[in-house]
Amino acid sequence: MKNFPLESAMADVAPVHSGLKSKTTVQHLREVKEDFLTPRRSTRSSELLGQVQRLISKMRVAVIYGGDKTCEGSVIYQTHNPRSWKSYETVAADIKNSLERAGCQNVVLLPDDMNLGERLREHGIEMAWLNTGGVQGYCAVSHAAATLEMLGVPYVGHEPLSAGILDSKHVFKRQLAGAGVPTARFITWHGAQGPLNTGPDSHFSEVFESYEGPFIVKPVSGRASLNVEFAPDHYCVEQLAAAVFEKTENHVLIEQYLGGKEYCVAICGPTIMRDGALDRLDRPFTFAHVERVLADDERIFTSMDQKPITGDRVRAMDPEKESDVIAELDHLAQMTFQQLDLETLIRLDVRADEKGRLYILEANPKPDLKAPQQDGVTSLIVEGLLNAGMSYDDLIFSLLADRIDVLFSKRRGSANPLINLLTHCEG
């Protein structure tokens, strides 16, 4: 019988399955936990490269950006956006251009709105790339992923549940706390509960105990440091929380202020393109370790909407001189990726306290993937890519290849359009 690509992919991973039978589950789990290994996927990078290249030349791809609710016909009724809206269309175009440089011949940009399903059908889309924060409503970052799941179109992006958790800072922080990953102590408050009580015997004083401030008051779902406020003491917290609630109509997060250095680290799946070859690491890939350089009087990193991110505001970390901090960032990132069972790129924002201990501030499920610009404007991820020996195009190819690999090795039932394409290529 002819060996179709997917079947041969499965043949490659079969020994791992049969190996499992001879081990106890506990032994197997211990090995996976100890090493963050990805054993099912660890052997077939050259075959995967062939599969990805065959798919790239054939598949019809849509890069999806945030639809605008004010455009005629985009929604039935306009509703409130708890998270400040942005289209991300320019970055979607950067991703499209990169996919075209990699050999994709059929790439379109589509807005994420109520016509998405029909447009995907019209264009015969076999693979999508989600670069959208949603159109409107709560948990909007998960809407496109949920729609694609329902329509059966495979995509590069987080599954809806993960996208929703990652974009809800309070839910994400509870996951971290449950998994023993350090994050600043916090409470949430919603205006419908009545005025926030920070007095004795309140939930606030139970959580913060003798800590008297400063605090950070911020939306549970936000972007670009918008509506993130510094509160020197608990008196200011009440007022600021009410103001943030007024703007967002959503839960407000109140947490301990961390006054040390601020860092970012990115993590994605283990398949990466580097030096012209596809490599399969034995654990998820961490990269783009940067320090967000704060000015002396800057308590909150200024929004990119107010001040573009340039090389002097973001410093790639020195792998030799700062190896200890880098190792700690890697550990936080690996713990998060593994404990939340993530499958594709996130960027973690991390901040130190006065003693230099690191805490995760938040995870960005759709970090900015702006291509490098002539004028020096950059993104946190691209600024840190050089240390990893990768170009922007390497990163885009890696994210695509890794996703195809996850679909083939872990979610075969969700990859039908791609399996059909590969079968036709072979036939």
Ligand X SMILES: Nc1ncnc2c1ncn2[C@@H]1O[C@H](COP(=O)(O)OP(=O)(O)OP(=O)(O)O)[C@@H](O)[C@H]1O
Closer CB to Mg ion, residue 349 or residue 405?
349
**CA dist., res. 397 & res. 274, Å (int):** 10
At its nearest, how many Å lie between ligand X and the CB of residue 361? 5
In sequence order, the 6+-apart residues with CB closer than 8 A to the CB of 362 are 169, 172, 348, 349
**CA dist., res. 294 & res. 230, Å (int):** 15
At its nearest, how many Å lie between ligand X and the CB of residue 313? 11
Contact (CB, 8 A) for 96 and 134: no
Number of residues that bind Mg ion (CB under 5 A): 1
229 binds Mg ion (CB under 5 A): no
At its nearest, how many Å lie between ligand X and the CB of residue 188? 13
DSSP letter for 365, please. Answer: S
Question: Where do we find the tokens 């012209």?
Answer: 276
At its nearest, how many Å lie between ligand X and the CB of residue 305? 9
Task: Work out the burial of residue 201: count CB atoms within 10 Å of its CB; fewer than 13 is exposed, 13-18 middle, 19 or more buried.
Answer: exposed
Task: Work out the burial of residue 192: count CB atoms within 10 Å of its CB; fewer than 13 is exposed, 13-18 middle, 19 or more buried.
Answer: exposed
Binding stretches for ligand X (CB under 6 A): 184, 216, 218, 222-226, 228, 255-258, 262, 300-301, 349, 351, 361-362, 364
At its nearest, how many Å lie between ligand X and the CB of residue 38? 28
Instruction: Give the Å distances, CA to CA, from 170 to 14, 155, 253, 342.
Output: 40, 26, 7, 18
**CA dist., res. 132 & res. 162, Å (int):** 15
Provide the 10 A C-beta neighbour count for residue 18.
Answer: 8
At its nearest, how many Å lie between ligand X and the CB of residue 219? 7
Closer CB to ligand X, residue 231 or residue 273?
231
Closer CB to ligand X, residue 116 or residue 333?
333
- Residue 340 interface partner, choices ligand X, Mg ion, none, CB cut-off 5-8 Å depending on type: none
Closer CB to ligand X, residue 95 or residue 358?
358
At its nearest, how many Å lie between Mg ion and the CB of residue 153? 30
Measured between its terminal Cα atoms, the distance across the chain in Å is 13
Stretch that binds Mg ion, among 86-94, 100-108, 343-351, 377-385 (CB under 5 A): 343-351
Identified binder of Mg ion from the candidate list 255, 343, 349, 368, rule CB under 5 A: 349
- Residue 262 interface partner, choices ligand X, Mg ion, none, CB cut-off 5-8 Å depending on type: ligand X
- Residue 44 interface partner, choices ligand X, Mg ion, none, CB cut-off 5-8 Å depending on type: none
- Residue 218 interface partner, choices Mg ion, ligand X, none, CB cut-off 5-8 Å depending on type: ligand X
The contact set with Mg ion (CB under 5 A) reads 349
